[in-house]
Each structure stands twice: as C-alpha cells, then as structure tokens.
C-alpha cells in the first residue's frame, strides 16, 4: 500500500490539531477565576475599594489596581493569622502570589496613606 506524503501530512495535522484543541478544553475547565470581595477595614480617606480587584485561580492569587494608589503593601495570612506572603506593588498594576497550601486565607492591602482593605478567600485543590 502506498501513502502519499500529502495524505500523511493531513493525517498528522488533524491529530495535532485535535490534541491541541483537547488540551485547550481541559485547561479552560480548570482555569476558573473566583472573585474575592474586598472590604474596608480602616479607611480615613475617600474609599478606594472599588479600584481594587482580587481573585483566586487554583493556588494563584491576583490583586489588580485600576487606579494609581501609589506604593501599596500586600500581606497574605492564613485565617489563623500565620504569615504566608507579603510584598509591595506600585499601582496601577497587578500583584500575583502563589499560595502553596489549601485552606482559608486573608489578603490585606494597606495604602500609603494608611487605609486598609482586606478580602477573605479559600484555596482548594
């Protein structure tokens, strides 16, 4: 039996395309953003909570600032108060942190003027 190179190429292309599409479907089904409600903790100036957006996707926490709020401190603690991660971000920008363990957590956002916001979230496998 004689197979032409063109038929072989088409067969390989179809197999490759179906593999890529299947991988994209699997990736999308596990790629879910879960929004985190940001609340005021100690705010003296005009509220800025609406300019802070946070979400958890698996073990990845993303905090996005849609307005220039200056240098912002971000602290992540377990629900029992144990330190997990901390950092600074110059806004407007995003901060991404990897949370290694499942459990309940709190992200605390402190603005340069001392205003404090927080959000509670869960990391599950």
Predicted structure pTM score: 0.74
pLDDT at 12: 55
Tell me, what's the pLDDT at 32? 85
Q: What is the pLDDT of residues 39-69, one digit of tens each?
A: 999 999 899 999 999 999 999 999 999 999 9
Sign for the CA dihedral angle at 14, 17, 19, 25 comes to negative
pLDDT at position 8: 63
Q: Residue 11: its pLDDT value, please?
A: 57
Instruction: Report, as ranges of residue numbers, the positions in the chain whose pLDDT lies below 50.
Output: 15-30
Q: Measured on CA atoms in the order 122, 86, 77, 82, is the torsion positive or negative?
A: positive
Q: How far apart are CA 122 and CA 77, in angstroms?
A: 12
């Amino acid at each position: 039996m004689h197979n032409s190179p063109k038929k072989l190429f088409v067969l390989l292309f179809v197999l490759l395309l179906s593999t890529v599409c299947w991988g994209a479907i699997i990736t999308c089904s596990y790629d879910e953003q879960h929004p985190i409600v940001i609340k005021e903790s100690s705010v003296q100036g005009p509220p800025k909570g609406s300019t802070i957006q946070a979400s958890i996707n698996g073990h990845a926490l993303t905090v996005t600032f849609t307005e220039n709020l200056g240098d912002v401190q971000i602290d992540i603690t377990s629900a029992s108060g144990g330190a997990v991660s901390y950092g600074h971000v110059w806004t407007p920008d995003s901060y991404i942190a990897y949370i290694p363990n499942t459990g309940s957590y709190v992200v605390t956002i402190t603005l340069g003027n001392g205003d404090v916001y927080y959000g509670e979230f869960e990391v599950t496998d």
